[in-house]
Amino acid sequence: MYPTRRRLTQSLVALGVSLLALHAAHADQLDDIRKKGELVVGVLGTDEPNSFIDAKTREIIGYEVDLARAIAAKLGVKLQIKQLAVAARIPELQQGHVDLLAASLTHNKEREAVIDFSLTTFVTGQKVLVKADSPIQNLAALSGKKVVTIKGGTQEPNIRKAVPNVDVVTFDTGPQAFQALQQGKGVAFVNDEVSLLDQHAKLGAAKAGYRILDQNISVEPLAIGIRKGEKRLKEQVDGVLRDLEKTGDADKLFVKWYGPDTPLKFPKRTFKIDSDKVEG
Amino acid sequence: MPTLSFAPLLHGDYFTWLLTGLRLSLLLTGLTLLTALPLAVGLALMRLSPRRPLRVVGEAYVEAVRCVPLLVHMLFWYFGMPELLPAGLKERLYAGNIEVISAWAALTLYTAAYMSEDIRSGVRAVPAEQMHAAMALGFSPRAAMRLVVLPQALRITLPPLLSQTLNLWKNTSVATVIGAAELMYQAQRVESATFRGFETFALVTVAYLSVSLVLTGLAQWAQHRVSPARGGR
């Protein structure tokens, strides 16, 4: 092939590729979801009761999975759950490997720059778990000490903000970080309050060996993550969440996964699904 | 697609994080080389030993270590093995930087298994006549091995050993799973804080690549200058 012709072919290919990219960028995600008949939702699968593996059926279930199911039902498409690592959540959403994130995702100002959020679906605080016989009674006592937590979430920046001089070691999953605390490789484990309560409850008889500090290191509004600028998809998601709130189903879901009959034993819901604003 | 920008990563805290990570990755590589090489020589000699029990132990070690992924070794040496230590020692160890120590242990044992195979090939590549001649001159088998065969074998082995060092350098990235704050760990930290995953990993790729290229260059140089193949021609 002559060099000029080769160059022409190359430019044509490049043009084709960029047109394809342009087309993909312009197509609305909601249309795409309807066309493929499938809503892919990224979850953690390691964070009970938001999303976790059911010991009997080996399937991923949970509060956030039920929310995702309601959204898929409203869109009239099949729900496909995809398990993600904490640190991979936002990149996977940005690159379009998942349509939505229902992955214990904190809604904060920093993240608003890169993705959009649905109405707040849950409010939790982040707290600190220590061994019962530990001399640590408050956050200030953690200064200069080694604490363990999860990679890629808001836990690490929050504890560093709350205790400037703290030494933080991070792991891929909550259970790994908790194991490091159990083995004494750190003096405290930082996580969302709900996850801490859940992991604490799972200890059974060994529960007495641990306690949770009273102070919150932060308040974390959790929401469903949506790719930036997908307004129509966000409208649909928010619509489903508003309906759940209106019909009382949101409350039922809360009681099902967090209520008095669950290991977490939350007496009642202290938030409503009605806002997508967070404090900076 | 968000626009690319390296500026936020190149100044301030984020760049310092990456540099500390790079420093620990290099340190892990250096420390591991220091411990893995003698262990590898020992293992190779065990496998070449005329005594069967020694050969069996050496072979069992190499096979057992090579057949298990490095990730599993890491998790075992962090979450598993240290728990078996006596309480006093355990506490002292955990108060220090147990993440780095565990990563060092796992990398040493893993790398030594591979290096020992290279060294064994090197020893076998030295003609048997060298050993016979040395013994005919009155060297004991042990002295012949130490003074005549091994020095030649290590020269032959240098290029593959450098190639193993290259693997070791890349393998240090697995230590991120046990919380050792090496380059990969810091990169993930920067990515979570800045949401600039592409730029962060581009920088990290450049860092891994530069060190790797230096090692590759050394291996080529060694091939030309030190390897006896050239001298023989």
Model pLDDT, residue A11? 63
B71-75's contacts with Cβ under 8 Å and 24+ in sequence apart are B71/B174, B71/B177, B73/B106, B73/B109, B73/B110, B74/B102, B74/B103, B74/B106, B74/B174, B74/B175, B74/B177, B74/B178, B75/B177, B75/B178
Phi-psi region of A37 (alpha: psi -120 to 50; beta: other; left: phi over 0): left
Q: Which of B83, B185, B197 sits opposite A183 (nearest CB)?
A: B83
Assess A183–B contact: CB distance below 8 Å, yes or no. yes
3-state secondary structure (DSSP) of residue A106? strand
> Which residues in chain A are contacts of B91 at CB distance < 8 A?
184
Assess A169–B contact: CB distance below 8 Å, yes or no. yes
- What is the mean pLDDT of the segment spanning A96-100? 95
Query: ∠B113-B115-B121 over CA atoms, to 5°?
Result: 110
Residue with tokens 């809503």: A39
3-state secondary structure (DSSP) of residue B50? coil
**Which ipTM did the prediction report?**
0.80
Positions of E strands within A71-187: 78-83, 100-101, 115-131, 146-150, 167-171
| pLDDT tens column, A189-208 | 999 988 898 888 888 888 89
- What is the mean pLDDT of the segment spanning A74-90? 94
Model pLDDT, residue A204? 84
Percent of residues, chain A, with pLDDT higher than 90: 71
Q: Residue type at A216? A: N
pLDDT at B62 over 90: yes
> Which residues in chain B are contacts of A179 at CB distance < 8 A?
79
Question: Do A237 and A120 form a contact (C-beta atoms < 8 A)?
Answer: no
Structure tokens at A46: 């390691």
Model pLDDT, residue A10? 64
- What is the mean pLDDT of the segment spanning A58-76? 95
- What is the mean pLDDT of the segment spanning A76-99? 94
Question: A9-18, A79-88, B73-82: which has the minimum mean pLDDT?
Answer: A9-18
pLDDT at A26 over 70: no
Question: Do B125 and B48 form a contact (C-beta atoms < 8 A)?
Answer: no
- What is the mean pLDDT of the segment spanning B191-207? 90
Assess A114–B contact: CB distance below 8 Å, yes or no. yes
Q: Which of A91, A152, A179 sits opposite B79 (nearest CB)?
A: A179
Q: Which of A91, A179, A185 sits opposite B98 (nearest CB)?
A: A185
Residue with tokens 């355990």: B90
Q: Please, what is the average pLDDT of chain A?
A: 89
Q: Is the dihedral of CA B106, B108, B112, B114 positive or negative?
A: positive
Model pLDDT, residue A1? 44
- Which residues does B contribute to its contact with A (CB < 8 Å)? 1-2, 79, 82-83, 90-91, 94, 98-99, 177-179, 181, 185, 188-189, 191-193, 195, 197
Q: What are the helix (H) ranges across chain A?
A: 3-26, 29-36, 63-75, 89-94, 109-112, 155-162, 174-182, 193-202, 231-247, 249-258
Q: Which residues pair with A79 in a beta bridge?
A: A39
Q: Residue type at A229? A: G
> Which residues in chain B are contacts of A171 at CB distance < 8 A?
177-179
Are residues A148 and B179, on separate chains, in Cβ contact within 8 Å? yes
pLDDT at B54 over 90: yes
| pLDDT tens column, A133-143 | 999 999 999 99
Q: Please, what is the average pLDDT of chain B?
A: 91
| pLDDT tens column, B140-196 | 999 999 999 999 998 889 989 999 999 999 999 999 999 999 999 999 999 888 888
Structure tokens at A171: 């792991």
Q: Is the dihedral of CA B225, B229, B232, B233 positive or negative?
A: negative
Q: Which of A91, A157, A183 sits opposite B193 (nearest CB)?
A: A157
- What is the mean pLDDT of the segment spanning A229-234? 94
Question: Do B204 and B147 form a contact (C-beta atoms < 8 A)?
Answer: no
Percent of residues, chain B, with pLDDT higher than 70: 96
pTM, entire model: 0.78
Model pLDDT, residue B37? 95
Query: ∠A34-A38-A44 over CA atoms, to 5°?
Result: 130
Where does the pLDDT of residue B213 fall: very low under 50, low under 70, confident under 90, or very high at 90 and above? very high
Q: Which residues contact A57 (CB under 8 A, 6 or more apart)?
A: none
Q: What are the helix (H) ranges across chain B?
A: 7-10, 13-48, 52-66, 70-75, 87-95, 98-125, 128-136, 141-144, 150-171, 183-194, 197-225, 228-232
Q: Which of A90, A169, A185 sits opposite B195 (nearest CB)?
A: A90
d(CA B102, CA A277): 44
Q: At what angle do helices B13-48 and B183-194 cross, to 10 degrees?
A: 150
3-state secondary structure (DSSP) of residue B84? helix
| Residue of A110, A159, A185 to mutate for B, most B C-beta atoms under 10 A | A185
Where does the pLDDT of residue B233 fall: very low under 50, low under 70, confident under 90, or very high at 90 and above? very low
Model pLDDT, residue A203? 86
